Amino acid sequence: MLNISTKSVSGLIDRKQFNAYSKLKKRSHSRLLLRILILIFILFILCMFLPWTQNIRSNGYVTTLNPYDKPQNIQAQIGGSIKEWYVKEGDVVQVGDTIVRLTEAKADYLDPQILDNTKVQQEAKERSADAYLIKRSFLEDQLAALIENRDYKLGQLDIKNRQVDLKLESALLELEAAKVYADNAAKQFERMQTMYDQGIKSLTDLETKKLSNQEAKAKRISIENKIADLQNEKQNIQQEIEIVNTEVQQKTAKIESEINSADSYRYSLLGESNKLQSKFNQIEQRQKSFTITSPIAGRITKVLKNGIGEFIKEQESIATIVPVDYQKAVELYIDPIDMPLIQEGKQVRLQFDGWPAIVFSGWPDNSFGTYGASVYAIDNDISENGKYRILVIEDDSEKEWPSLIRIGSGARGLLLLNDVRVYYEIWRKLNGFPPDFYDPEKRKDVKNKAPLRKVK
């Protein structure tokens, strides 16, 4: 009873009639519970001094490190209709294995002899171009003959011109002699006339001197006429040289114009021939592209086009293939606040979906079912989910990752930081402080960055 009232009723109650009073008298005041509590408290204090590995938790998924190891679609380079399938979903193929064969479905290429006809057209254009090349050769020979004939005529005219120069030089000398002779004859005639007037000489002598004077004048005039003729002949030779040069220039210009025309037609035909050759190569490559082969060694996971005769557009995906052998990596996404703590080479512990694990985040070495990894690359740009992506790869110094994990399966990572005491970690979290920053090169247990393996 609470004994609140001053009047007690305890004396009025027969305690022997109630079992509760007898049990209360038998209650033990053992200190076992107190000892247990004290032991727990001591253990708790001791645990505060245990080592604790700071870490950053993150989620991600399995991917591949090399871009050519990722799942990819097999596309048709050209459009066509499906003729025959050579694989089914789940088949493993090697590089070059035939996946599907197509048939032509475009009206412009339905001619069964299109390759032969295109080749014949291309060869005809080449022969036409060769004919213009032969014509050009003939025109060049004609031009060479014309220039040779001009040089021959000019040589003849040059010889003739030098001959006229020699004759003209000789005539000029004769003219000088004729002038002297004519002057002498005139003076002799004048003296004879004086002597005849004085009666010293006879009329016969006077007439003889008069005749000699007339002959001297005639000879001089004849030589002057000869000189004039030679000068006219020299002018005619110069005119003839100019005529020959003009005619040859006109004929040369005409032949060169024909040569240029022949070259123009020839180049045009060669251009058409090259176009036809390019068309021939395109058609030939198009026919080869009807057979679609596997670009890599992998497994056909999904067929996107079904049936026979179904039309496929150009660059349309027909199947998905996943590489058989590839180097695995894991994409993890880190909050921006934790990014300054992440460096290449930092150790990571991974847990994969489908593989049981017992994880002690503060004691990663005591965890079971986790796998070792190291940070390989860090994105400089934030992802769409507001976090930064990092790539981690397998640590060769630890046990291998499970061979049965698939691309796209989930993974959880523990990025290991500094080793601290438990009490410090509790104090840090209570105060909201970030984990301690450290340089991975200073950690003794941090391995060097794992090298990129080449997967054949």
Which of these, 332, 349, 438, lies nearest to 388 by C-alpha position? Answer: 332
pLDDT for res 26: 56
CB neighbours of residue 416 within 10 Å: 23
Contacting residues for 377 by C-beta, under 8 A, at least 6 apart? 344, 390, 391
Burial of 370 (0-12, 13-18, 19+ CB in 10 A): buried
Q: Write phi, then psi, for 289 (nearest 5 degrees).
A: -75, -10
pLDDT for res 456: 40
Read off the DSSP letter of residue 275. H
What whole-number distance in Å separates Cα of residue 173 and Cα of residue 166? 11
CATH topology of domain 52-66+326-442: Elongation Factor Tu (Ef-tu); domain 3 (2.40.30)
**What is the amino acid identity at position 218?**
A
Please compute, for residue 142, the number of CA atoms within 13 A of its CA located in the half-sphere on the CB side.
Answer: 16
What whole-number distance in Å separates Cα of residue 18 and Cα of residue 10? 13
Which of these, 113, 108, 100, lies nearest to 309 by C-alpha position? Answer: 100
Distances (CA, A) of 22 to 12, 14, 272, 398, 418: 17, 12, 123, 68, 61
The structure tokens 């008069």 sit at 210
Evaluate whether the domain defined by 114-286 bears CATH number 3.40.50.920.
no
CB neighbours of residue 364 within 10 Å: 17
Which of these, 89, 115, 95, lies nearest to 104 by C-alpha position? Answer: 115
What stretches in the chain show pLDDT beneath 50? 1, 359-360, 362-363, 438-440, 442-456
What whole-number distance in Å separates Cα of residue 133 and Cα of residue 268? 12
Read off the DSSP letter of residue 53. E
Which of these, 419, 418, 388, 401, lies nearest to 351 by C-alpha position? Answer: 401
pLDDT for res 449: 41
Q: Are 323 and 294 in contact (CB under 8 A)?
A: no
Which of these, 398, 446, 408, lies nearest to 329 by C-alpha position? Answer: 408
What whole-number distance in Å separates Cα of residue 115 and Cα of residue 15? 122
pLDDT for res 7: 64
Burial of 95 (0-12, 13-18, 19+ CB in 10 A): exposed
What whole-number distance in Å separates Cα of residue 437 and Cα of residue 159? 106
Helix (H, G, I), strand (E, B) or coil at 345: coil
Helix (H, G, I), strand (E, B) or coil at 432: coil
Where in the chain are the domains?
A: 52-66+326-442, 72-104+290-323, 114-286
Read out DSSP for 20-39?
Answer: HHHHHHT----SHHHHHHHH
Read out DSSP for 279-334?
Answer: HHHHHHHHHHTTEEE-SSSEEEEEESS-SSS-EE-TT-EEEEEEESS--EEEEEEE
Six-digit token string for 43: 């253990």
| Helix 114-197 / helix 203-288 crossing angle, nearest 10 deg | 170
Q: Are 321 and 93 in contact (CB under 8 A)?
A: yes
Q: Distance between alpha carbon 96 and the CA centroid of its chain, in Å?
A: 25
Counting every residue written for the chain, the total comes to 456
What whole-number distance in Å separates Cα of residue 147 and Cα of residue 453? 75
Q: Are 100 and 86 in contact (CB under 8 A)?
A: yes
Please compute, for residue 61, the number of CA atoms within 13 A of its CA located in the half-sphere on the CB side.
Answer: 6
Q: Are 162 and 230 in contact (CB under 8 A)?
A: no
What CATH number matches the domain at 72-104+290-323, 2.40.50.100, 3.40.50.150, 2.70.98.60, 2.40.110.10?
2.40.50.100
